[in-house]
Amino acid sequence: MAQIHVVGRVTAELELQVSHAKNPYVRFTLEERLHNGRFQRYDVWAYGWDAEHLVQWKVKPGSILEVNGPLFAEEYTAKDGVSPGVRLKIIYKDGGPIRWGKPNRTGKKESTTPAETAAAETPSPSGEGVIDGEREPLPE
C-alpha cells in the first residue's frame, strides 16, 4: 500500500453522512494541479473524527486542503456499463485546510492570496488535460 501526501483544491461541498454502522464519513474530490497545467483527481474518504472535523473546519469548494493517507487504485465500470476505468482513492488520515476561499460580491469563491487568485481564475478543464488514474512517467 502506498502512502501519499497531496495538496489540492476541493471541488464540491462536503456533506457529512452516516454509514449503516452509524459511523460518520465524508467523501469528496480533490484536484491537484500538475506542473504541465494538467490536473490529477483523487477521491478522498474520511471517517469518524476526521470526517467531522473536515466539516467543522468549513472546508468548501475552492479551499486548498492537505491530505495524507494510503492511496488505492480502484477499478470501476463507467456509466455506459462497458468502459473500464481506474480512480485514485485516498483514505484521509492526516492533513487539514491550508487556504479557504472567500465569497466575493458575485457569490463565486475568491482566494485569499493574489497567487491563489490567479490559479483560481484558470478553470479546471472538463476533459482535455485531466488525468484520472495514471501519472506520466518521470523524465530520466
How far, in Å, CA of 74 to CA of 57, rounded?
28
Cα–Cα nearest to 92, from 57, 127, 118, 123: 57
| Domain extent at residue 107 | 2-130
Q: Is 120 part of any domain?
A: yes
Residues whose CB is less than 8 angstroms from the CB of residue 120 and which lie 6 or more positions away in sequence, other chains included: 9, 62, 101, 109, 110, 111
Q: Is 135 part of any domain?
A: no
Q: What is the mean pLDDT of residues 31-58?
A: 93
Q: Which residue has the higher pLDDT, 2 or 138?
A: 2
Q: Is 138 part of any domain?
A: no
Q: What is the mean pLDDT of residues 88-99?
A: 91
pLDDT in tens, 54-82: 999 988 899 999 999 999 999 988 888 88
Q: Is 137 part of any domain?
A: no
Cα 89 → chain centroid:
10
DSSP state of 61: T
pLDDT band at 46 (very low <50, low <70, confident <90, very high): very high
pLDDT band at 102 (very low <50, low <70, confident <90, very high): low
Q: What is the mean pLDDT of residues 110-132?
A: 45
Residues whose CB is less than 8 angstroms from the CB of residue 34 and which lie 6 or more positions away in sequence, other chains included: 40, 131
Length of the chain counted residue by residue? 140
Q: Is 61 part of any domain?
A: yes
Helix (H) or strand (E) holding 2: strand 2-10
Residues whose CB is less than 8 angstroms from the CB of residue 92 and which lie 6 or more positions away in sequence, other chains included: 44, 45, 46, 47, 50, 51, 54, 67, 68, 69
Total of domains in the chain: 1
CATH number, domain with residue 86: 2.40.50.140
Q: Is 102 part of any domain?
A: yes
Cα–Cα nearest to 119, from 64, 67, 65, 58: 64
Strand 102-103, strand 109-110: pairing: antiparallel
Cα–Cα nearest to 28, from 102, 107, 89, 108: 89
Q: Which residue has the higher pLDDT, 113 or 56?
A: 56
Q: Is 140 part of any domain?
A: no
Q: What is the mean pLDDT of residues 13-18?
A: 94
